[in-house]
Chains A and B, each alone.
Chain A
């Protein structure tokens, strides 16, 4: 138990600066986790609204866009301009990837859960941890202020391919906004790298006695491997970001070949290759997508086992699968570049690796199904989200096989088939898992339960409407409906697809509206939710033996671990769960006594 933190009880009656140091610039991993959680949920709203802008334009192109039309385009009758649309999808993806999914998985849940689940009193480097949160704020400010620069924000796609992004004349958002974008992403990268150093050290060094690596919950394994991915992949993105920044500001030519004539200007360029950016960018961004799913997979495993009341099926294969996904994840980046101008022979090699990476994901799905089989399934709200993760991930994973096949990718690259795939894995998959995780660990974070009925309604509505929004994207993709077009109906081939897009937009609006239920539930439950004790769900892992919410130092006893995390339904005890810290029943001939 650490004593270097000021105890929460002594803060009462303390000065303003005491409050600030306890709750604002806190070095307690739980507070930092919750800070990440609140920030990312707010950005989730921003990202969702940007998505609604995209959906509106696709359903009713060039019509008066709600709120935005009146605010920014009243002279044109509310009709947005084409460059505004390019900003919408760029910032939607940027916000969702860098300000929502990655920070909520690693920053919010990683931070909150890692010390608790391994029996530590805090992270290995609490100050570094605090800095990793506060380094997000310069990123928030950079990208937030980019909305107010000419062009209303970066507009070269979240992938930011040069020369479009590197030559200011190439796009309205490629002036100041793109510089701010690069700086913002750099800050996020620094924050993540700080976090990953912390997580790796904490997990390796600060496990409670008895907590061997193969007794770690899969959430922790996932966070561990994710931290490895972050640590090795992020430096490449950061370097690439600086290279693009220098191309833009200092006149270097990393990515700019000679002879460009962009918007009738002749940028000072030469000797560079646009493909270099793509290699560097995807070298990070492919592991990034695994960063964005592995923690979710880990948390889903924990939730599924808990509410099936039986052990996870195939714990070690699950661990090996996570490692396999991460390892293979470093050698498949070229599958984003099959048609990029890269040597087609490389296309073949990346294709084989990409096909192989489907395997560990498939193994995980089968193991989840195995976990459900023969269980005693309790359909609580977190469980519903966890089950839906499995169901939706099957769709997302299977659709990936289409685009891994290079000849098929010739047709579906840069179409809505791809958009369908990643929204299934990232939203229908990860975001649903995140919702489930919030419902599941809310009692531990705040000492109160979220309302179950509203939670189930939230799940039901979100589930229906997300499938309505995203499933049909596969069909659009099969037609060849391209991404990132402000007006796809310009083309004969796609002109008749507006009704389907209108259907999808209506589903999207309903889906976003359904999140209001979650928001009200979440906020009000913090204040008036039903109070609960340490283990309302009857779960096994270490955090459920700490108080709800845990005080500074987390545990009011020294945790000692006796078994793995998934001993639900064990015949050794009468209850249907068997916490990791619960000593085994005293056996004849030993002098093991029950814990005090």
Chain B
């Protein structure tokens, strides 16, 4: 039976790595079962860090899984005739397998400080050196995203603002800054395809920033439990060329300022 159990435990690294490989290879039935399309500038770094960690942990996973299998196979009491190795440990080994992982972990820790800083600490600046102001303020509320664009005056909070619900448009290839806040409880502003996520905290105004590199419509997801309608807080972010964006903006402004009944 020991052989059977050993093989069962061998299945763990085999199927574990195999299923990930299957998903990464995008083969049926695991189509689109891996990282969603990344259309952001900083997302590349995040994805490559993810992959690096995956390969690293994959190597360790395979190595330890194989070691486990080998020991179970070889030292099965039913078949093993050798006496046990009556050792209590090995000092050198302990040092090696303490220092080596520590070094690797510290390396990863230091390596990722820059991407984190770029995503969360250093706000993008314009070529002139000024901090880029937010183009819109996104307020999470049970259960929708209320978006308020700065109007022509560039200020959010004035009568020429544009209001939309769940419908965020941004121009492509420009650094976009959004101010995010909450009206009631915690929510989280998650743009899967842009690798952006930040909890919106009542009583706190925060900023997220990104540069989108491809046109299209993508999901906005709420990623912090906010009540029964948490799943309903679906929004859509539409990335479009600057001219299309401007045209959309004007259209919305006109619709918002409608002073007569439109025909459907």
B126 interface residue (CB < 8 Å to A): no
Q: Could you mark each residue 157-200 of chain B with 1 if its beta carbon is under 8 Å from any beta carbon of chain A, else 0?
A: 00000000000000000000000000111101010110111111
Contact in complex: A81, B94 (CB < 8 Å): no
Q: Does B221 sit within 8 A of A, measured CB to CB? A: yes
Neighbour of A170 across the interface among B23, B89, B142, CB < 8 A: B142
The verdict on A375 contacting B75 (CB below 8 Å), with A308-B84, A480-B36 known, is: yes
Which residue of B23, B84, B93, B119 is within 8 Å of A374 (Cβ)? Answer: B84
B75 close to A377 (CB less than 8 A)? yes
Selecting from B100-108, B127-135, B239-247, B249-257, the interface stretch reads: B100-108
Residue in contact with A387 in the complex, picked from B68, B87, B120, CB distance below 8 Å: B68
Residue of B76, B227, B232 contacting most chain A CB atoms (<10 Å) = B227
Q: Would B87 and A311 count as touching, CB distance under 8 A?
A: yes
**With an 8 A cutoff between CB atoms, is B226 at the interface?**
yes
Bound complex: CA A155 to CA B98 (Å): 43
Bound-complex Cα distance A245 to B39 (A): 44
Q: Which chain A residues numbered 259 to 277 have a C-beta less than 8 Å away from chain B? A: 259-263, 272-275
Cβ-based interface call for A366 (8 A): yes
Taking a contact as CB atoms under 8 Å apart, the answer to whether B225 and A484 are in contact is yes
Chain B's interface size range is 35 or more
A7 contacts partner chain B, Cβ-Cβ < 8 Å: no
A493-B72 CB under 8 A given contacts A370-B89, A374-B85: no
- B53 CB contact (under 8 Å) in A85, A387, A402: A402
Cβ A355 vs Cβ B109 within 8 A: yes
Whether B199 and A486, one on each chain, are in contact in the complex, defined by CB atoms closer than 8 angstroms, is no
Q: How large is the interface on A (under 10, 10 to 19, 20 to 34, 35 or more residues)?
A: 35 or more
Whether, in the assembled complex, B201 has its beta carbon less than 8 Å from a beta carbon of chain A, the answer is yes
Asked if A369 and B71 sit within 8 Å, CB to CB, the answer is yes
Does A359 contact B12, Cβ atoms closer than 8 Å?
no
On whether the beta carbons of B33 and A479 are closer than 8 Å, the reply is yes
The minimal Cβ–Cβ distance linking B109 to chain A, given in whole angstroms, is 4
Q: Determine if A471 and B16 form an interchain contact, defined as CB atoms under 8 angstroms apart.
A: yes
- Do B202 and A257 have beta carbons less than 8 Å apart? yes
Residue from the list A309, A340, A388, A394 in contact with B61, Cβ < 8 A: A394
Can you name the residue of chain A whose Cβ is closest to the Cβ of B111? Answer: A405
- Contacting pair A379 B228 (CB below 8 A): no
Q: Tell whether, in the assembled complex, residue B116 and residue A348 are in contact, meaning their CB atoms are under 8 Å apart.
A: yes
Q: How far is the CB of B106 from chain A (nearest CB, A)?
A: 7
In the bound complex, residues from chain A placing their C-beta under 8 Å from that of B230 are: 86, 484-486
Q: B94: shortest Cβ distance to chain A, in Å?
A: 5
User: Chain B residue with minimal CB distance to A160?
Assistant: B225
Q: A82-B228, A274-B203, A379-B2 are in contact. Are A309 and B84 (CB under 8 A)?
A: yes
Partner of A358 from the list B101, B202, B221 (CB cut-off 8 Å) is B101
- A residues near B5, Cβ cutoff 8 Å: 379, 384, 387
Q: Name the residue among B45, B50, B89 with the largest chain A CB count within 10 angstroms.
A: B89
Task: Pick the interface stretch among A192-200, A435-443, A567-575.
Answer: A567-575
Give CA–CA (A137, B65) in the complex, Å. 42
Residues in chain B near residue A171, CB distance under 8 A: 227-228
| Chain A binding surface SS class | helix
Interface string of A465-483 (1 = CB under 8 A from B): 0010001101110111011
Interchain CA distance A584-B197 in the complex, whole Å: 63
**Residues in A neighbouring B7, C-beta threshold 8 A:** none
Among A138-146, A313-321, A525-533, the stretch that binds chain B is: A313-321
Task: Report the separation of the CA atoms of residues A399 and B20 in the bound assembly, to the nearest whole angstrom.
Answer: 13
Assess whether B93 is in contact with A370, with CB atoms less than 8 Å apart: yes
Residue of A nearest to B33 (CB): A475
**Nearest-CB residue, chain A, relative to B200:** A341
Q: Is B88 an interface residue (CB 8 A)?
A: yes
Q: How far is the CA of A392 from the CA of B68 in the complex (A)?
A: 12
Question: Are B108 and A258 in touch, CB under 8 angstroms?
Answer: no
CA distance A392 to B13 in the complex (A): 10
Closest Cβ neighbor of B5 among chain A residues: A379
Residue in chain B with minimal CB distance to A170:
B185
What residues of A have a CB within 8 angstroms of the CB of B88 in the complex? Answer: 311-315, 566
A373 touches B75 (CB 8 A): yes
Within residues 23 to 39 of chain B, which ones have a CB less than 8 A from any CB in chain A? 23, 29-36
Q: How far is the CB of B262 from chain A (nearest CB, A)?
A: 29
Please tell me if the beta carbons of A478 and B34 are within 8 angstroms of each other in the complex: yes
Given contacts A313-B88, A406-B112, A493-B193, contact A170 B201 (CB under 8 A): no
User: Is B144 an interface residue, CB under 8 A from the partner?
Assistant: no
Q: Is the CB of B203 within 8 A of A258?
A: yes
**Measured CA separation A311–B85 after assembly (Å):** 9
Q: Most chain-A CB neighbours within 10 Å: which of B23, B112, B184?
A: B184
Chain A stretch 131-161: residues in CB contact (< 8 A) with chain B: 155-157, 161
Q: Which of A365, A411, A415 contacts B46 (CB 8 A)?
A: A411
Given the interface pairs A83-B228, A86-B230, the reply to whether A163 lies near B36 with Cβ below 8 Å is: no
Distance to closest chain A CB from B97 (angstroms): 5
Verify B8–A463 contact, CB threshold 8 A.
yes
Partner of B89, one of A314, A401, A569, A570: A314
B259 at the interface (CB under 8 A from A): no
A:349-396 near B, CB below 8 Å: 351-352, 355-356, 358-359, 362-363, 365-367, 369-370, 372-379, 384, 387-388, 390-392, 394-395
On chain B, the residues within 8 Å of A352 by CB distance are 106, 109
A170 adjacent to B184 (CB under 8 Å): yes
Chain A residues with CB under 8 A of B41: none
* 13 A-B pairs whose Cβ atoms sit less than 8 Å apart in the complex: A260-B202, A339-B198, A392-B12, A394-B64, A398-B57, A408-B46, A411-B46, A411-B50, A411-B192, A411-B197, A413-B223, A478-B34, A482-B221
The chain A residues found within 8 Å of chain B, CB to CB, are 81-83, 85-86, 155-157, 161-164, 167, 170-172, 257-263, 272-275, 308-317, 339-341, 344-345, 347-348, 351-352, 355-356, 358-359, 362-363, 365-367, 369-370, 372-379, 384, 387-388, 390-392, 394-395, 398-399, 401-402, 405-408, 410-411, 413-415, 456, 460, 463, 467, 471-472, 474-476, 478-480, 482-488, 490-493, 496-497, 499-500, 566, 568-571, 576
Q: A308-B75, A411-B192 are in contact. List 7 more A-B contacts (CB 8 A).
A: A163-B186, A272-B203, A356-B105, A375-B84, A401-B57, A410-B197, A478-B23
Contact surface of B with A, Cβ cutoff 8 Å: 1-2, 5, 8-9, 12, 15-16, 19-20, 23, 29-36, 45-46, 49-50, 53-54, 56-57, 60-61, 64-65, 67-68, 71-72, 75-78, 80, 83-90, 93-94, 97-98, 101-102, 105-106, 108-109, 112-113, 115-117, 119-121, 142, 183-186, 188, 190, 192-193, 195-204, 206, 218-219, 221-232, 234
